[in-house]
Amino acid sequence: MSPSWPLIALKRLANLVLVLVAMTFVIFVLQQVAPGDPARAALGFTASKASIDAERKALELDQPLLVRFGHYLLRLANGDLGVSAHTHNPVAADIAHFAPASVELMGAALALGVCLGVAVALIPILYPRFRFLRWILIAVASAPIFLTALLLSLVFWYWLGWLPGGGRVTPDVYQPGPTHLMVLDGLLTGHLGLSWNALQHLALPALTLALPVAVSIGRTLESSLTVVLRQGYIRTARAKGLPDAVILRRHALRNAAGAPLSMFGLQFALMFTNLLIVELIFSWPGLGYYLVQSFAASDLPAVLGVALVFAVAYLLLTSLIEAAQGWLDPRLRRR
Amino acid sequence: MSAMAKTIGLILLMVMALATPAAPAPPQRVLKVAYADDVVSFDPDNAFLLYGLEALRVMYQGLVQYEPGTTRVTGWLAQSWSVSPDARTYTFRLHDGARFHDGSPVTAAAVMAYFQRRATPTLALSYFLDNVASMSAPDRLTFVIRLRSPQSTFLDRLASPWGPKVIGPGALVGHAGGDLGGSWLNEHEDGCGPYRLTEFSRGYRYVLTRDPDYWGPRPYFDRIEIDIVPSISQQMLMVRRGDLDVMMNGYPFDQLAHLPPDLRATGFDDLGEEMALVNPWHSLKDRKLRWAVLTALNPAGWLADDFDGYATQARSLYPKAMIDAPRPVVFPGDLAAARRIVAAHGPVHLQIGYGAEEGATQQRTAELLVSALARIGISATVMSMPTDQEPGLRDFPQRAPDLWLARNYPDAAHPGTQADVFFETGAPLNLFNYSNPSVDRLIGAAGQITDRAARDRAYLAISDALFADIAFIPLADIKDVIVYRADLTDLGTRPALPWGVDYATIRRR
């Protein structure tokens, strides 16, 4: 008998908490043993000894490692991520400030990546004459991400002037909204100009992030489809006279979706790395930019805070993917 | 038409719909600039800014400042000042009519309340006032500071870009909170300068708007828009495309000769001298070997090949803008003797380090030094470290790089601030724990001299002693280069203001 859903959810949640604590500990220790002095980083090299000592005390650097970690976990349980040594703001507030930009960018990139990925997989099957489009996409996506970003920026912004080369929105168009997701805020508040402007700004960074996702998902889906399309039930469907498009939609895609879904999870994890580069190149004020800045400043609370957000996002997405795989293939639910 | 062709056509239509013509030209009275990094805080007492310094100095004003293009101290909020014969009492007479952005007048009492905040030891830059014994405001416009002992650097510390900038009572009282207004002042201001901070969007942009009630001359620009653009290549494209008016730093030297006709470049000497700190605790313990390294590193042998005329050989351990030494340091020139020393010593491998924040310039210099060392048979590799880890080198000099390249900025244009930070025993950026009691004595004595010419001679003697010890090697004065639109003028650059123009004077022709 398979276990009940609440029990599965509870087990997953317990796993999630354990993984988060372990990950927090590893990052915490790594940051502590790295050379550098967060107190000096916060105050500057020439700050007085009194102010450095006060900052050390405030950062608990005079306490043993395990004590500090314990205090950190206690504060974390209360939703307190500490104060950034770099910006002097609560880390939670900084994350709330920077997260919407990253959520919007990653959401757009994932959606675009999936659409392009499906196109990469289906074009050779449905329209063999346009197979060259797939190769163009693969060629562009094979370049290092910073090169892709610079190339797209150079062509579509600098040379052609078609799309903005950086930032989230033209300042004159900006209107504050409830979600801080510009496209959505424009729709919710009726400022369609804002949504349109935000979409234009999203285009290049989202495309840059989407290309590796598209190629990975596309190639995995294509391989899975190739196998599935040779199965007996597909031959039966063909023998019944069903058109290829219907066979693909009703029978092949669902059975071939398992591997691309796993790949989607992997690409989501890789996207965090690419996010750091893309946000820097496109002046995108998101968590990737914040993380790079915090890391350079030995800002431990900020680095830990962003790492936790990324970890939670990844673990939640992995759980969703597992659930989706179980829905697609009931045999997996029994494992 | 096939379904696929229709789909492609639809996608192309969507791309064209998303596409727009180039952005319209910026309004005439808006100046657009960019920073590669965020401003930590606009609190003038609690952040060691590089990006944002020039913005800070048009929001806030101090008692004195440096004149544009020089290191001469001139009045700012103070229209005049005097120093007592015992060099311990400074009396400042304030301009009448200055107002803070909260509307209150700039009085001696307000200035004193601010200076008391600045002296609070928990604030990062409080040490600027650590020699202050007392302060008083005998009348509405007279402010008096009494020092514990004579301090020849005091006026320069007040004029420093990191020096005290008076904050109004609107912030100090109205937004004090539990941290002397620190949280509020991170992203707001209450100064008395020609511009107000009207937008602070961390990680994205800041906007300064001209204060219509400013007490001094009206600046040309109505708004200064500062975008955060971390990528230097993106900044280059923006300035070439007209999306930026000024690129403050980072434009590659080798491309400056190929600027389009609507752009100009100007270089000025700042207070950051390129020098090498020698680590005597590891591979370079042997003084003879250090002498051989010194011979190889003679900038005359490699500097001309690089920096496209924007660097000159350093003449002492002080930047040229601080002291233009009449007699430059003389490097040993006997390369053959240096080769013989290395050959007798056996294989030598050195590591050259630098702070990652200064990456572009330092990587270039480090590679040139690797070639220079190869000429005497020394192999070398290059490494960068996060800048905040630099002070930590003092804790493990045996494992630290053998040569450390630095272009650090002293607090002010007074050579004493250079000696205090780098050369003195225990100084915060004396990374390899150099200690020479006779040099310390010289530094102590030089700090008492008030006559400028005599003072400079005393500090140059310290430079000579350090050079003779092969502890610090002066390499180059590399100019700060600003790229700007050709119709801009009166940039107002100052040696003590790295990476910055003066928004109060810059204008379009």
Residue-level pLDDT, tens digit, chain B, 509 residues: 455 556 555 555 555 555 544 455 555 699 999 999 889 899 999 888 888 999 999 999 999 999 988 999 999 999 999 999 999 999 999 999 999 999 999 999 999 999 999 999 888 889 899 899 999 999 999 999 999 999 999 999 999 999 999 999 989 988 888 888 888 999 999 999 999 999 999 999 999 999 999 999 999 999 999 999 999 999 999 999 999 999 998 898 889 989 999 999 999 999 989 999 999 998 999 999 999 999 999 998 788 767 778 889 999 999 999 999 999 999 998 999 999 999 999 999 999 999 877 766 788 889 999 999 999 999 999 998 877 777 778 878 888 899 999 887 899 999 999 998 889 998 888 989 999 999 999 999 998 888 889 999 999 999 999 999 999 999 999 899 999 999 999 999 999 998 889 999 999 98
Q: Which among A170, A171, A199 is the nearest to B18, CB-wise?
A: A199
Distance CA B37, CA B52 (A): 9
Query: Nearest-CA distance from A41 to chain B in Å?
Result: 5
Diameter of chain A measured on Cα atoms: 84
| The pLDDT value given to residue B481 | 93
| CA separation for the pair B272, B413 (Å, rounded) | 10
Counting Cα atoms < 13 Å in the Cβ hemisphere of A9 gives 3
Measured CA to CA in angstroms, residue A85 lies from A45, A102, A155, A311, B457 at distances of 14, 22, 39, 22, 41
pTM for the whole structure:
0.85
Distance of alpha carbon A29 from alpha carbon A23, whole angstroms: 10
pLDDT tens readout for residues B212-232: 999 999 999 999 999 999 999
Query: What CATH class has A101-334?
Result: mainly alpha
Q: Show which of residues 131-190 on chain A sit within 8 Å of chain B, judged by CB atoms.
A: 133, 150, 153-154, 156-158, 160-168, 170-171
Domain B30-236+486-508 has CATH 3.40.50.10420: no
Residue A335 to chain B, least CA–CA distance (Å): 41
Condensed to tens digits (0 to 9), the pLDDT of residues B424-478 reads 998 888 989 999 999 999 999 998 888 889 999 999 999 999 999 999 999 999 8
Domain ranges in chain B are 30-236+486-508, 274-480
CA atoms within 13 A on the CB side of B453: 1
Q: What are phi and psi for residue B81, nearest 5 degrees?
A: -155, 160
Domain borders along chain A are 15-77, 101-334
- φ/ψ of B418, rounded to 5, equals -70, -45
Other beta carbons within 10 Å of A5: 10
- The band of A66, judged by pLDDT with boundaries at 50, 70 and 90, is confident
> Using alpha carbons only, how large is chain B's radius of gyration in Å?
25
Given an 8 Å threshold on Cβ–Cβ distance, is A298 in contact with B38? Answer: no
DSSP symbol at A90 = B
Contact B315, B474 (CB under 8 A): yes
**CB atoms B205 and A171 under 8 Å:** yes
Q: Could you count the other beta carbons within 10 Å of the beta carbon of residue A307?
A: 20
Hey, what CATH topology would domain B274-480 get?
Dipeptide-binding Protein; domain 3 (3.10.105)
- Whether chain B has a CB inside 8 Å of the CB on A50: the answer is yes
Residue (of B160, B93, B131, B198) closest to B322 by Cα position: B160
Contacts of A314 (CB under 8 A, 6+ apart): A268, A269, A272
Burial of A221 (0-12, 13-18, 19+ CB in 10 A): buried
Residue B385, strand partner residues? B355
- Per-residue pLDDT at A3: 59
ipTM above 0.85, yes or no: no
Chain B: nearest CA to A133, how far in angstroms? 10
**Cα distance between residue A192 and residue A135, in whole Å:** 36
Q: Which residue in chain A is spatially nearest to B39 when comparing CA positions?
A: A87
For residue A226, give every residue at least 6 positions away whose Cβ sits within 8 Å of its Cβ, in sequence order, or none.
none
> Among B221, B263, B105, B96, which residue's Cα sits nearest to residue B170?
B105
CA within 13 Å, CB half, B60: 26
H-helix or E-strand containing B82? strand B78-83
Characterise B346 by phi-psi region: left (phi > 0), alpha (psi -120 to 50), beta (else): left
Residue among A255, A260, A291 at smallest CA distance from A273: A291
* Interface touch B4/A126, C-beta < 8 Å: yes
Tokens 């009206």 identify what position?
B218
- Determine the Cα–Cα distance for residues B294 and B291; give it in Å rounded to an integer: 5
SS3 state at A241:
coil
Instruction: Encode pLDDT of A143-180 as tens digits.
Output: 889 999 999 999 999 999 999 999 999 988 888 889 99
Q: Which residues of B touch A50 (CB under 8 A)?
A: 121-122, 126
Contact B470, B313 (CB under 8 A): no
Is residue B87 a contact partner of residue B150, using CB atoms and an 8 Å limit?
yes
